[in-house]
Structure 1
């Protein structure tokens, strides 16, 4: 059997195509400051939507403010059906550091910044970006207070749907006990597989899972098996890594980022790749080897 990993999945009240776009790379180096080429950044956003992308991931702390302002300039007034997902819970220092911003006042300010810079009366989806550990990776700790603050902003009509990012399974459960969540955005890819069980649980619940760093992030994925399968399919290793994610679970939504129109086209073609069972199994073994 071969499978083309296409289709849609529910994100809040809308069904979106499973291959979206992440805006983080539109900011300057280190996700700080303006883009190297503003015209190119605007062109990527417009081309993504022209090619049918209906799910864009962003945050007002990218830049800060840069990516949201670019999205507004490129796409406002937004086309019907476009879902813009943002995240709050951090601020950028003058030295480009990423610092927690978890108080109710911090979160209220962040939501209003997003509303203003995106030019919308309400935010489609807001993820609470959890920063607990010193290395900014997932770490246990209660998120009751900040998530309750976001739930209150939702009740005020400023947010339509809520989610969590960089969260542990316990934090996901805690958030679900406070308000409905529509997505979880965590680090996951063909090699980094810590969330395998969580993905399957969320699939059963009908909750979207959105991997960040789907292609490895600042250290691109490298694997001889990935390269071999890519050669067999006349594709790039990165296209195959995205295709594997789309087939891994039906609730996975992808947001690969790029500042290049050519690279955007390459990423979008991943939705057309057909992975035979044998190829999928060989790729799946990469993660089992890494985590085992």
Structure 2
């Protein structure tokens, strides 16, 4: 087996590449480097710089490297930006996936692991979000991920593809400081940035119907995300034609925003700093926590790392990047 990992030079993709390469898989990285970095790609792993909209280059890469399966991680992923640039997001995330699937079917590649998102669920009013919870995405980003799942399922039926779509919940942490997240779009790096500037971290709303009034989320270590991809790829090696699974990647355990912030303050020696509570952000559901039963049943996979592991490793990565 040889796996093409699109977006393999990015934050999540680089973790997936490292886990798969260390397990003995032949891996090829395909990335446009718009947000990824060639420095993340392990020594000895080929890197092809290109867009998922370039079918000719995709087909050439697949043939040149005898690719037999694809892990598709490349995507635009900022919710707010997707509201401002919906056409861009649909082109990159939906047309890009369509182009990739066309290249796969043209070259006889029948296995795909797709990076989806819990954003497909929107604001579910349930204690635990299962894969059967109705999807009602609240942003063009979430819409593109849901459409991507539909497109893959249709291609599996029509062309005998073997596919697993993985819905990530809130990703944090790093397996190594050099693989840490360089963006400041999620809670943990946003708090780090505020503290580094000598400012109090923000908590958006403390009047939700949760134990401490702040939003509750399911946080998952990026290393666990990577191991889930590896398990999905291994499953597809044995799966029959037409297989199309959708699985949550989460811990099945919620942590409140206040709990996360307080743990960050402790790790960074800022326990004397009091967070600023500001108004709620529009569209933030009170609680989104995954049911992780199905992925355990289907892949034999469970998360191994906890919130402290995520925060500790993210802080090490932040200091590595920011000195």
TM-score by length of 1: 0.35
